[in-house]
Amino acid sequence: MNAAPFVLALHHTPARRAFAPMAVGIPALRRILTTIRRRGYRFVGVDAVGRAGLPERTATVTVDDGYASNMRHLRPLLRELDIPWTVFISVRTLGGRNLWDLNGVGHREGHMTQEELRTLAAEGVGVGSHGMDHEDLTRVSTAALAEALASSRAALSAIAGHPVDAIAYPWGRVDERVASAARMAGYRVGFALNDVGCVPPSLAAMAIPRTCIYSPDQILGLFASTGPWAPRPFRALRGAFARTGLALVTTALAARRLGGVRP
């Protein structure tokens, strides 16, 4: 059996089943996490990730964007299951809403507040950067890239009460320039989504791929059949989920920009 370690990526975590691409309800998450554990995997925190990656047969839970549902619903579940996790925050969304979760595409909800994030950090939940404005870092200037990396790290370190040394790149996108800049800015590890082939092995720790959990995973048995342990053709379905979800969101954002509203 494939015992390769892996990193999970979550987004919206509502109390019940939801149909937005990036939303997975708590009942399905409970089932998925229990399945992983039953397959002999041990859950570890982001601090266990080193230059060589994760130890064999381990899994790490990461959560992007810091939605209110992560605080209300995911936090109690992971506490009950005794699973460590790290939340990655876009600083300027704290306590507010964003413009990328669009009606009909995204699951519209607010983000956790600064005080809630401070509470999570005090409880031992990991805190990482997701940029300042959820900007695609591969598309900004070198100066803007350095500013976003440094400013978000400084702001989140102040809230968490300890140095933040992990980043999950907004939109899951990273290239060699971004990975190198993140290391120079003081980050120890960086997380993408799927395609990290453009990053050289010397920067592997700054471009760790993740297994994203999507709305279809709420179907009974789907994750168990397509998870990291599944045969390659079945695992490939996860890439199709990722491409479909991203296409929906980026198409909606493009339409919104044409209407004169910038995300």
More confident residue, 253 or 86: 86
Q: Which amino acid is at 41?
A: Y
Q: How far is CA 104 from CA 147, 252, 253, in A?
A: 33, 9, 12
Q: What is the pLDDT of residues 72-95, one digit of tens each?
A: 999 999 999 999 999 999 999 999
Using pLDDT thresholds of 50, 70 and 90, give the confidence band for residue 261.
Answer: very low
Mean of all residue pLDDT scores within the chain: 89
- pLDDT beyond 80 at 105: no
| pLDDT confidence of residue 87 | 98
Residue 101 burial (C-beta neighbours within 10 Å; 0-12, 13-18, 19+): buried
In the chain the first and final C-alpha atoms are separated, in Å, by 43
**CA dihedral sign, ordered 224, 206, 116, 163:** positive
Q: State whether the Cα torsion 17-20-23-24 is positive or negative.
A: positive
Binned at pLDDT 50, 70 and 90, residue 55 comes out as: confident
Neighbours of 157 (CB within 10 A): 16
pLDDT number for residue 122: 98
Q: Which of the 8 DSSP states describes residue 211?
A: E
- Rounded to two decimals, the pTM is 0.90
Residue in 109, 101, 105 with CA at minimum distance from that of residue 15: 109
Q: Which of 171, 144, 196 is nearest to 247 (CA)?
A: 171
Task: State the average pLDDT over residues 172-186.
Answer: 96
Task: Render pLDDT for 210-226 as a digit per residue (tens, 0 to 9).
Answer: 999 988 899 999 999 98
- Among residues 173, 209, 217, 191, the alpha carbon closest in space to that of 21 is found at 217
Map residue 191 onto helix, strand or coil: strand
